[in-house]
Amino acid sequence: MLLAVSCGKEKSPRILVLYYSQNGGTKAVAEAIQSRLGADIEAIVPTIPYDGDFQATIERSRKELDGESPEIQPVAADIKSYDVIFLGYPIWFGTYATPVATVLKEVDLGGKKVVPFCTFGSGGLDSSVEDLKKNIPDAEVLPGYGVRAARIEAAPAEVERFLVAGGFIEGEGQEVEEFSETRDVTPEEASIFQTAVGDYPMMAGAMAEKVASRAIPGGMEYLFTAKTMPREGMPGPGPGPGMDRPMKVYVLAEDGKAPVFTQVVR
């Protein structure tokens, strides 16, 4: 059933895609959503742009997290006239980028359905959604979509499935079975895990300990429980050197393709 809004009678909701993108990845996802929905779209624009340099962005956003969020150009859209806001952002420090924090302070999203979508290096969808729920308690935050920047080419097809599953567009949803019971990792599964994470520096030293799996159209999906050692000098909170950090790692093994990890949940 398509999402509808009750205003005396059912009608199609008015939808705005509102997003911040630093390097173009989140913009690509936003445009895929906008194109499929025929929605309005607007970019969040910081008054002082981020220059795109990774280390400079890290240093600036760390200061903003500890102090004032950045100034942005006023949102032009009349938020009151929309029923659903697709809110997009890259993940910084495990949550939505700081320009989005400014939006949450300056724009009233109370009473709206908010659909998060994000891009990330390894993960952060779940934690950012939880932060949204805390910071906009008067809005209804719906399940979100996230994609690794390294897999951005997969976004259009995944967005299509996400919008069908959410009831925003018509289409046949693909039934996916539940994950199996968690079990010890076999040598073959350990190899799949290492292939999936081996070229990602932030996952260096990660080891899979447990796994659950399920069949999906065209392959298998694995949910590994893994541990890794924290690296000295990495920003953000976390255990000190020498302490294990458990994490969940989703791995997609499609027929005829090398396994890739799709998200890390810490």
| Local confidence pLDDT in tens for the 266 residues of the chain | 456 544 445 678 999 999 999 999 999 999 999 999 999 999 999 999 998 678 888 899 999 998 888 999 999 999 999 999 999 999 999 999 999 999 999 999 999 999 999 999 999 999 999 999 999 999 999 999 999 999 999 999 999 999 999 999 998 766 778 999 999 999 999 999 999 998 898 888 899 999 999 999 899 999 999 987 554 444 443 433 333 568 999 999 999 999 999 999 98
Chain centroid offset of residue 102 CA: 19
Q: What are phi and psi of 21, to 5 degrees?
A: -135, 130
| DSSP type of residue 72 | B
CATH code, domain with 46: 3.40.50.360
Pick from 14, 189, 12, 20: which is nearest to 99 by CA?
A: 20
pLDDT at 2: 54
Domain carrying residue 154: 12-165
Residue with tokens 């499609």: 254
C-alpha distance from residue 8 to each of 64, 83, 112 (Å): 44, 15, 18
| Residue 7, domain member (yes or no) | no
80 and 208 assigned to the same domain: no
Tokens standing for 237?
């909170």
153 and 38 assigned to the same domain: yes
pLDDT at 236: 42
24 and 156 assigned to the same domain: yes
The answer to whether 114 and 132 have CB atoms below 8 angstroms apart is yes
Instruction: Give strand ranges (E) for 44-133.
Output: 84-92, 95-96, 113-120
| Residue 40, domain member (yes or no) | yes
| Residue 4, domain member (yes or no) | no
Last residue of one domain, picked from the residues 165, 191, 221: 165
143 and 188 assigned to the same domain: no
128 and 36 assigned to the same domain: yes
| Residue 55, domain member (yes or no) | yes
pLDDT at 203: 85
Structurally, the chain folds into a number of domains equal to 2
152 and 241 assigned to the same domain: no
| Residue 1, domain member (yes or no) | no
Last residue of one domain, picked from the residues 134, 165, 196: 165
| Residue 174, domain member (yes or no) | no
| Residue 209, domain member (yes or no) | yes
| Residue 70, domain member (yes or no) | yes
The pTM for the full model equals 0.88
